[in-house]
Structure 1
């Protein structure tokens, strides 16, 4: 079999493995708050999140096209496929490391960092303008927007329901969390599954099997299925961090955090085609609703550790990917 075709098959397989790890790494993003408030049982929440991830993955292609053509432009043939493969493995390694330590880092930024690192190591063209506008700027703004909107929205909810019976109100918000958790899972599929679609198309183009940035139907279905299966597998370590360690959430705060985070994901995907981090968005929203209790209610030490993982994600994944590319460049003919 032709080496290029073999590499295409390997890259597509590894991309779907990354998609699976993305699903179980980020399962907590969608359901940690609803599980921690006992709005949903863990298995019911995971099943619902898996279905909504599948649906969300099929709703658009804007983010996929940004990843597929806007981060790097690898050359055709085996060398270009080695760049994509190294980028994927760099992202997977960082996902597994942060999952092991229960740190909710960004799978999106791990993938982007991996592609950038492999691109730099191979002297591949890196699109710095696109990265600045659609990666760096949203990376800074989305957590700030998530925190600010969640804080303001929670204050509004507290004022509106200030004279209502607490237990009855919390029970109703617990029901509403089923809807907000589903919305968050839909947003995760809309954002994260599309990133894998973009990488697969990048590999197909490098292998001479596809032209342009359009996403074939089989690529959409494969990526959507992989992330859904990964989501159902669950990411319990990170779920404990988001659901309990940052702050103890009540159903009202869980509902507001999920609703705000989902809104940010939808707007960035549909309006700007920007691959934002679902992890950063939900984590910052959780901090925002938590700060309405009092600033000390948020465990800022845990939040600081999460922030360190965020900062390290792109350079760490990029370093692993760059090293792997150098090895592949020696091994491949």
Structure 2
């Protein structure tokens, strides 16, 4: 049990690193592209705010669990299944980074964990947690459909108004206001992304702790200090990953999807920032920063008088969005089934 638990915690730290690395462009790509911030300043600011947001997100979920009444043990097989699910999500995220595709790591993780849970049910006869399976499917499906639609609609609605109001004065003043808005939106997006990332990492930690209780960890064990220490480590991993920048994906977001001007880019950057906090605090849904930013960029670009959206590239991006939960779920189920049967 100790070795598998250590492996799961190590994989969770790696998940924090890859999450920060892959999703850094969601906060910094537009302000760097339009020279609102230098690459170094943008990454440092995003790393700091991602770290703070991750701590806040983990604290929020940890406090919610404490209020409800703590953790219940889950059956044997949870820890190996969780290790398989995290491995699949990490491999998928790195593969899509290599392909320059912006996808949601949250959807990859949720789909893989739900599929690994199903594999434990098939291989070991572990009772299905219907509430968890239902919530995982709801979160993936709703956020997959909801976040792009909300972001696209808000961006299409707000961009003409902002352009009309923002183009008063000299060209220099207009550019200055747009870049200031981009810089502020970058910080908000980084903080909101950190909150979302913290909630997902806390969920993985709590699943690991429940699996450890089921594998023999005494029920009276005080998990407060381990959770707090893990929160610090996970937040540092997200921040360190953010400093990596993942400019391969940033190039797709700023150059291959839509042609934007700084003013429209400021709207495209502000909408995801608002939606991330809305998803965390009000809707309690894992709205994807990648999906919201991509859809917001498209919505802002469509308000221009010329054809600015590169539809073939957008179609490829959306196809990878749809494939992410399907492929990660299938791989996690197959590998989880094989692993659990091998371990007995």
Q: TM-score, normalised by structure 2?
A: 0.87
Residues 298/74 of structure 1: CA separation in 2 closer, same or farther (3 Å cut): farther
Show the 5 A alignment for 1:122-141: 122-123=120-121, 124-126=128-130, 127-141=132-146
The answer for the alignment partner of 1:92 in structure 2 is: 90
State the alpha-carbon separation in 2 of the partners of residues 276 and 6 from structure 1: 33
Larger Rg: 2
Question: Residue 216 of structure 1: SS of its match in structure 2?
Answer: helix
State the 1:193 CA deviation.
Answer: 2.8
* 1:44 pairs with one of 35, 41, 45: 41
Structure 2 gap ranges (5+): 122-127
Q: 1:40 to 1:163 in 2, by over 3 A?
A: closer
Name the residue aligned to 1:256. Answer: 267
1:20 paired residue among 17, 22, 26: 17
- Is the Cα contact below 8 Å between 1:76 and 1:207 reproduced in 2? no
Q: What is aligned with 2:251?
A: 240
| Alignment partner of 2:8 out of 4, 11, 23 | 11
Could you say what secondary structure the match of 1:249 adopts? coil
Partner residue in 1 for 2:29: 32
Q: 1:273 matched to which residue of 2? A: 284
Q: Unpaired segments of 5 or more residues in structure 1?
A: none
1:56 equivalent to 2:53? Answer yes
Instruction: State the alpha-carbon separation in 2 of the partners of residues 247 and 64 from structure 1.
Output: 40
Question: What's the counterpart of residue 289 of structure 1?
Answer: 300
**Partners of 2:305 and 2:337 in 1: how far apart?**
50
TM-score of the two chains, using structure 1 as the length reference: 0.90
**For residues 319 and 132 of structure 1, do their structure 2 counterparts lie closer, same or farther at Cα, with a shift above 3 Å needed?**
closer
Kindly report the root-mean-square deviation, in angstroms, between the aligned alpha carbons of the 2 structures. 2.5
Alignment check: 8 A CA contact 1:74 1:125 kept: no
Change (3 A) 1:23 1:194: same
Q: CA deviation at 1:11?
A: 0.2
Q: How many residues of Structure 1 are paired with residues of Structure 2 in the alignment?
A: 325
Mapped contact 2:73–2:212 kept (Cα < 8 A)? no
Distance 1:91 1:32 in 2: 24
> Counterpart of 2:235?
224
Q: SS of 1:270's equivalent? A: helix
